[in-house]
Amino acid sequence: MREVPVSRITEEVARLSIEANYQLGDDVVQALRKALDQEESPVGRSILERIIENAEIAAQGEYPYCQDTGFAVVYVEIGQDVKLTGGDLYDAINEGVRKGYTEGYLRKSIVRDPLRRVNTGDNTPAVIWTDIVPGDKVKITVAAKGGGSENMSEVRMLKPADGAEGVKNFVVERVERSGGNPCPPIVVGVGIGGTFEKCAWLAKKAAIRKIGERNPDPFYAEMEEELLERINKLGIGPQGLGGRVTALDVHIEVYPCHIASLPVAVNIQCHADRHKTVVI
């Protein structure tokens, strides 16, 4: 049994919260550069150039990449041979978010109650997802999820008879209805199967997969490619002002489901595709 003090988790969450907001991942930057090569619209190219320049300035000067520094969504994979010591895991994670968003001068965007709308003042509480996995490591991913793209997400309970075409049509329709609201070029996370809440979780997890990494099942890998092509033919373009590149990628995650159900969720991620990971 390997002991991991929760104070270490606090420090790592704080660091990841800051780094996720300052530094886009290499996969995202490369995808944006590829989009610039593909884009034919002069306006779209100009927007992509500014987006890339903004990423460089943010990383070099240690500034937030976007003014919306997001809801902290934290994924934790805990090895079954790990013993967490020194306090409560969720308290430690929230303290890390509090510390990171304060020390990193990041905008605090969370209200304590969804209807009474009083800001918590420190961007807590985080949304925390935990998995128990084999081994003696702790893997932490902090994603900063912006509100604009999150608002364009949707769950739909399709009928099994709708099949693959029904799923694909829903995904494309959701992106088309979103237009420029989620600040394209976007990453589209799709969750298929499970239950009402499970497919939404799958879509959120899919949205932070490394850009260019395909689903291991060839059937869904081909669907990802088809959806990316269909979405980019919509003509929405960078920031919704027209062009060839509306999405950087489409990622699909699936789970078994009930014989009477076909739940599908779409979670849209803006071009500020911010997430960082550490293994302790």
pLDDT tens column, 136-177 = 999 999 999 999 999 999 999 999 999 999 999 999 999 999
**What angle is formed at CA 233 by the lines to CA 212 and CA 266, rounded to 5 degrees?**
60
What mean pLDDT comes out for the span 261-269? 98
What mean pLDDT comes out for the span 276-280? 98
The domain segmentation of the chain, as residue ranges, is: 2-20+65-145, 148-273
As beta bridge partners, residue 72 has 144
Percent of the chain with pLDDT over 90: 99
Give the Cα separation of 66 and 109 in Å (integer).
Answer: 13
Answer whether 0.85 is exceeded by the pTM: yes
Least confident of 8-22, 52-66, 90-104, 223-237: 52-66
Give the Cα separation of 60 and 22 in Å (integer).
Answer: 9
pLDDT given at position 61: 84
Give the Cα separation of 148 and 123 in Å (integer).
Answer: 16
pLDDT tens column, 69-122 = 999 999 999 999 999 999 999 999 999 999 999 999 999 999 999 999 999 999
Render 213-224 in DSSP notation, one character per residue.
PPPSSHHHHHHH
pLDDT given at position 62: 82
